[in-house]
Amino acid sequence: MAIPDSVGNSGGIRQVLKGRVKLVRVARRLTENEASAGQVVYPTLEMRRVLMRTVGSIGYLPLSATRDSGLTILWIDGVAPDGVTTENGRYPYVVPLALVWKPPLSGIAARFKDYLFSAEARRVMQAFGAFPVGVD
């Protein structure tokens, strides 16, 4: 399976509207003009609701959003999504989430950042299906 380079949100939407591709995932709300030309389901809660009520449907969600949903998680080429297979690239459908800041942090922002990198926060993230990685 080939995963093409990203053409960006607008590029993907243009490809759908021109009929070149059937489906794209975007990371922004559609403009009124774009939305009037097609169909859109916004992640994450709305997508989860659609998948849960539409038998046989396929969708794209963070693994953490599938918790307690009864949804079937697809394995890709026999590989299940887990902390090891997502970090080593064997499971290809991964969306990184990052925390961005400009040092120095202080106050509640610093305490929140420190908590996110604690063992307790790692356990909480893993319990919800997220796979935390270390600080780069």
Residue 48: Cβ within 10 Å count: 19
Please determine, for residue 106, whether its predicted confidence score (pLDDT) is greater than 60: yes
Please determine, for residue 136, whether its predicted confidence score (pLDDT) is greater than 60: no
Question: CB of 51 within 8 A of CB of 71?
Answer: yes
What is the spatial distance between Cα 46 and Cα 125, in angstroms, rounded to a whole number? 21
Q: How do residues 25-54 score in pLDDT, each as one tens digit?
A: 776 777 787 777 766 666 678 888 888 988
* pLDDT, position 1: 47
